[in-house]
Amino acid sequence: MSAATSSTACCRARCRPARVQIYFFKTLIPIAGALVLIQGFAEVLRCIHCIRTGVWPERLADVEETETMLMHEAEDLHAIHHDNEAENLTRPGAPR
């Protein structure tokens, strides 16, 4: 019997001092592990594709690095003449 199943079966009714129901969190651990495993498998497939073709496959349009996103936002602000706000975005440690 898995830890999540046994925790649900026998420990659900057990009173804990903080009344935290642990069985729910023990169920989430294998689910999160499976999701990370799927993500790792997808990254391995991307690497294999890159090795075969020599070019990294593009990511989806909604996946973007934070630095790239901030650079595009600063460029947009420059384009609409908000240069002071754009300088704050491009300078490291600038107040937001």
The reported pLDDT for the residue numbered 69 is: 78
Reading the chain (96 residues) residue by residue, the pLDDT tens digits are 565 566 555 555 555 577 777 888 889 999 999 999 999 999 999 999 999 999 988 877 667 777 887 888 888 777 776 555 556 666 666 555
Helices (H), the chain: 3-10, 22-53, 66-79, 83-90
Residue 82 main-chain phi, psi, to 5 deg: -110, 60
How confident is the model at residue 23, as a pLDDT?
A: 83
Whether the model clears a pTM of 0.85, i.e. scores above it, the answer is no
Neighbours of 48 (CB within 10 A): 10
31-47 residues labelled b (16+ CB within 10 A) or e (exposed): eeeeeeeeeeeeeeeee
User: Would you say the C-alpha torsion 88, 91, 94, 96 has a positive or negative sign?
Assistant: positive
SS3 of residue 90 by DSSP: helix
